[in-house]
Amino acid sequence: MVTVIRSVIRGVGACLPKRVMTNEDISKIVDTTDEWIVERTGIQSRHIAAEGELTSDLGIVACRQALVRAGVDPLDVDLVICATATPDRTFPATAVRIQAGLGITRGAAFDVQAVCSGFVYALTVADGLLRTGQFRRALVVGAETFSRILDWTDRGTCVLFGDGAGAVLLEAQPTHGAREDRGILFTRIRSDGRFEDLLYVDGGPGSTKTTGVLRMNGREVFRHAVQKISGVIEETLVATGYAADEIDLFVPHQANQRILDGIAKKLNVSPGKIVMTLNKHGNTSAASIPLALNQAFEEHRIHEGSLVLMEAMGGGFTWGAVLARW
């Protein structure tokens, strides 16, 4: 019998800062209305990190919850990968700070930078490393404090984003490689740097020596998002031989309700199968997929054996998809 190593998701956790900022609150800072934001994006409120509350702080809490739910001791983890575009410091990696915060002293920890696609990229990297046999258990965390890189005078961008973190605990397990066996079944990551100027941060240690703030051409990002995300989902389905209606749960990156509606329509996915957190979280970049996984878990919408499709697109552009049997 052939043995195939698969990366099985054993636990999920999340952390949202306490402070909630509603659209009404934002309308006191920039010229906007709750009606405009809800109609154009679907966002009603978002969480904002407190002063001194760092990306790693959120990540550590999310990881702890994932570990508890998996019944795994932190000392049995040998890989920590953090997807973030808002690291605590330029270096070291936020993952190293999360590793230390959890008391893990072995294995390796590093960050992955693919902005909103970061969690899909990090899962892909973790899955590859676990399947080599070099590591046994990985914490994959998406953690962001985007509120710190927003231009709070730009109503076109500051209304869209929020802070938070989510994490999963992956474990390398021997399987028969069958369709019904658990684990990550397929990953696909893509990027195209020609589109850098449509969504970027206008600073950096190597250019301006400042952090910079987010800049975006929303209309162009929107146009590319529907097309690129639908494309990578179709590739995933073709490569794995699954039909769209066999997917139990779609867990998309949460950028804009209208982007998700467009994708659902294009791929003929029933809205009841899509996990939505956008209304309460806004766009939390790399944290949005694990936060949505966590919500689906807590609402008992995700069970052992569920076929889960995750997808994302972000600055770069970067985009990708992961298909997993929970």
In 3D space, the residue among 51, 94, 68 whose CA is nearest the CA of residue 14 turns out to be 68
In 3D space, the residue among 228, 243, 258, 211 whose CA is nearest the CA of residue 309 turns out to be 243
Considering the rule CB under 6 A, would residue 278 count as an interface residue with ligand ACO?
A: no
Separation of alpha carbons 144 and 164, rounded Å: 6
Between the alpha carbon of residue 314 and those of residues 73, 81, 244, the distances in Å are: 33, 18, 23
Binding characters for ligand ACO, 235-254, by CB under 6 A (x = yes)? ------------------x-
Considering the rule CB under 6 A, would residue 219 count as an interface residue with ligand ACO?
A: yes
Residue at shortest CB range from ligand ACO: 218
116 as an active site residue: the answer is yes
Considering the rule CB under 6 A, would residue 83 count as an interface residue with ligand ACO?
A: no
Instruction: Read off the tokens for 224.
Output: 């590319």
Considering the rule CB under 6 A, would residue 61 count as an interface residue with ligand ACO?
A: no
Given the residues 47, 116, 281, 294, the one annotated as active site? 116
Q: At what angle do helices 34-41 and 257-267 cross, to 10 degrees?
A: 20
Of the pair 166, 314, the CB lying nearest ligand ACO is at 314
Of the pair 18, 219, the CB lying nearest ligand ACO is at 219
Considering the rule CB under 6 A, would residue 160 count as an interface residue with ligand ACO?
A: yes
Considering the rule CB under 6 A, would residue 177 count as an interface residue with ligand ACO?
A: no
Question: Which of 25, 34, 36, 107 is close enough to bind ligand ACO by CB under 6 A?
Answer: 36
Exposure string of 304-318, with b = 16+ CB inside 10 Å and e = fewer, is eebbbbbbbbbbbbb
Separation of alpha carbons 192 and 227, rounded Å: 14
Binding characters for ligand ACO, 280-299, by CB under 6 A (x = yes)? ---x----------------
DSSP 242-287: --GGG-SEEEE--S-HHHHHHHHHHHT--GGGB---HHHH-B-GGG
Of the pair 30, 108, the CB lying nearest ligand ACO is at 30
SS3 state at 231: helix
Considering the rule CB under 6 A, would residue 314 count as an interface residue with ligand ACO?
A: yes
253 as an active site residue: the answer is yes
Considering the rule CB under 6 A, would residue 32 count as an interface residue with ligand ACO?
A: yes
- C-alpha 11: how far from chain center: 15
Residue 321 β-bridge partners: 188, 311
Considering the rule CB under 6 A, would residue 82 count as an interface residue with ligand ACO?
A: no
Cite the active site residues.
116, 253, 283
Chain residues binding ligand ACO by CB under 6 A are 32, 36-37, 40-41, 116, 155-156, 159-160, 199, 216, 218-219, 221-222, 225, 253, 255-256, 283, 313-314
